[in-house]
Amino acid sequence: MLSQAHRKGKHEITNDGTSNLKETSGSFTCKCDKTLHISSNWVQLSKGQRSQSAHVHPTNVFGSLIHLRTDVNSVTNWNTPLVWEGTFDPVVIDAIYKKMDPRVAVVVFAVGKYTCFLKGFLESGEKHFLIDFRVTYYIFTDNEKDVPKVELGKGRKISVVTVPSANRWQDVVLGRMKWATITIDKQIRNEADYLFMMDIDSVFHNRFGAESLSQLSAVLHRGNYKVLKTNFPYERRAKSRAYIPLDEGDYYYTAAVWGGYLEDIFIHIFRFMKNLFTSYLQYFEYLLYNKPTKVLSPEYLWSDYDQIPADIKVVRISQLIKDYKKVRPNGGR
């Protein structure tokens, strides 16, 4: 769990939405940073320093050899874990994090007809998402009566946040950053240590565990993880705030699942988005210059629209096939 000193009194949000960090006492680092973030043969030691890793053979960490994948990269070019099935020991990594007893927030928006996806998301999450960890699902909705009653495990709960209805789906996409930021500031930051933003039109199929936890976790986009960076659909117009030069870029991430330390998400992303972001293309520009401390493979968000290739050994969560004209406000226009 994060210390009280980390969650409160450590920063000020200025009028322009930026953050001034102020050290009053103690440390900014999470207690989790004194332990190991493990992904196959990589041990990440992050005591307030991002992307600082030591290359250690798994026998030195676990006492038994993990069968390493040779068909995929399990480390980024800035030496942080790139997590695939077969590159971590789920029993060991869950045991490490359970000792810290982190509180995990999951923020989802179910506005308008999107409430139809709540039951499948919640019921499958209770089977596969961070099982035996403390989890709160924060459901932002304009239809509280449509939130289903779902049997939850020990230490897990649902918190409903009422938001206005929207006439256009674009207003939902951009408005959720505003409402999430406000609610994190007023409520969630006192109730969680880690936070995941997820799209509600998804269903969990297999384990989504503690290997996903990090200071900043981003998921590779299923449609672009084998594509050359020169072909990434980044913003290439030089006048745009989201501009990324043709010869730059690491990966193309999805914006439908991402997370990290709650305070880091709040300070470094949410306030930035609320004040400066005009489109999700700036999300990619942000991650280019603020590297994730853990990258999750497309296993952590696939799509029912796509065939599953050989390197995807397990689909952990997948976006559902849907008729956008029926579920989006104003017929999806």
Distance of CA 89 to the CA centre of its chain: 20
Give the β-pairing of 134-141 and 103-110. Answer: parallel
- Residue 111 annotated as binding? yes
CA distances in angstroms from 203 to 248, 302, 303, 321, listed in the order given: 33, 10, 10, 11
> Does 114 appear as a known binding residue?
yes
Encoded tokens for 11: 């920063």
Annotated binding residue 110: yes
Q: How far apart are CA 58 and CA 155, in angstroms?
A: 32
Q: Count of CB atoms within 10 A of residue 190's CB?
A: 13
* 327 annotated as ligand-binding: no
Residues with Cβ within 8 Å of 109's Cβ and at least 6 positions away in sequence, in order, are 140, 141, 163, 172, 176, 179, 200
Of 152, 130, 131, 10, residue with least CA distance to 139: 152
Q: Kindly report the backbone phi and psi dihedral angles of residue 6, in degrees, each rounded to the nearest multiple of 5, phi listed first.
A: -75, -35
Answer whether 5's CB lies under 8 Å from 27's CB: yes
- Maximum CA extent, the chain: 57
> 109 among the known binding-site residues?
yes
Region of 80 (left: φ > 0; alpha: ψ -120 to 50; beta: rest) is beta
**Is 66 annotated as ligand-binding?**
no
Ligand-binding site membership of 243 (annotated): no
Both tokens assigned to 245: 């030069």
Kind of pairing between the strands at 42-44 and 37-39: antiparallel
- Name the 3-class secondary structure at 99: helix
Known binding site: residues? 109-111, 114, 199-201, 221
Known binding site for Mn(2+): residues? 199, 201
Known binding site for UDP-N-acetyl-alpha-D-galactosamine: residues? 109-111, 114, 199-201
